[in-house]
Amino acid sequence: MEKEILTMEEAAELFGVSVKTFIKLLKEEKVPARKIGREWRFSRKALIEWLSSGDSQAYSSSEGETKEFFNEVAPDWEEMRKNYYDESIKNKLMELDLLKKNMTIVDLGAGDGYISRAIAKSVKKVVAVDISSEMLKELKKKAREAGIKNIEAVESDGRDVPFENGNADMICTSMYLHHIDEPENAVAEMNRMLRPGGKVFLADFYEHSNRELKDKMHDVWPGFKPDSIKAWFEKNGFSDVKIENLSGDFQKSANSGHRPASIFVLTAVKL
């Protein structure tokens, strides 16, 4: 017979998530529970009823808000992003000498083509993926103006990309992962798209406490801890995971008067 009263570990198992994820859920949602002494206890029936009364539109609404935000700022994005990062990410990618003429590159969270347009002349094809149709319009407009013809624009949130398994030689993603509700799933999707031996180049924020930045840019995550993101890549079939600080002449935030967050670069190889 199934237990009706569950411990924290048993409740997490019922939900099919880790204890860490379940604790995060307790902090963010009104999960039915009682603390007895120092221990939490849960009713199996109450948890199932709570779960069944949920509304997936809340998730869709959150994603929709992010999409709407980037649709609205798309025409001004090139100037806006200079308050948060400069040309250093592109420069670092070129400096690492990872690009080859015969490569097919997938650029996740491509935006208006910050990475895609910079690397197109160095590779065979770039598949630029972004959730915002307006951002992709800006990308295609700027590519046409620059005479770039080897960029394919794909509208997707990056977690279920319409791209065949194992066809990408490299994944590039700049300031994308902190917008994703489940970043580890995005890492798994990178693995799916890459051929064995394919590489990832990723730039993102270190974990920070700048709430103004997080809210203003509709970020889901306030950056990442290096150990956590490295573990996600290793768990999802990557080796030779390297993380280093990115140095650059970053512009100051117009509101706070200081650089909003430090940036790291990660490289990894699919096993």
- 44, 49, 52, 58: CA torsion to nearest 10: -110
pLDDT at 149 > cutoff 80: yes
CATH, domain 61-270, list 3.40.50.360, 3.40.50.170, 3.40.50.150, 1.20.58.220: 3.40.50.150
Please report the pLDDT score of residue 260 as a whole number: 58
Percentage of residues in the chain having pLDDT higher than 70: 91
Q: What is the mean pLDDT of the chain?
A: 89
130 and 109 Cβ atoms separated by less than 8 Å? yes
- Let me know the angle formed at the C-alpha of 270 by 196 and 267, rounded to the nearest 5 degrees: 135
Q: Please name the residue that has the structure tokens 């117009």.
A: 254
Mean pLDDT of 220-235: 94
pLDDT at 47 > cutoff 80: yes
Residues in the chain: 271
Mean pLDDT of 178-186: 89
pLDDT band (50, 70, 90) for residue 230: very high
- Let me know the angle formed at the C-alpha of 66 by 63 and 68, rounded to the nearest 5 degrees: 105
pLDDT in tens, 192-222: 999 999 999 999 999 998 888 888 888 889 9
Percentage of residues in the chain having pLDDT higher than 90: 66
Please report the pLDDT score of residue 255 as a whole number: 44
Mean pLDDT of 30-58: 86
Mean pLDDT of 65-76: 87
**CA of residue 120 relative to chain centroid, distance:** 22
Q: Pick from 107, 130, 110, 262: which is nearest to 190 by CA?
A: 107
- Domain spans of the chain, in order of start: 5-52, 61-270
**CA of residue 262 relative to chain centroid, distance:** 16
Q: Pick from 82, 73, 74, 76: which is nearest to 137 by CA?
A: 74
267 and 99 Cβ atoms separated by less than 8 Å? no
Please report the pLDDT score of residue 254 as a whole number: 40
Mean pLDDT of 112-132: 97
pLDDT band (50, 70, 90) for residue 253: very low
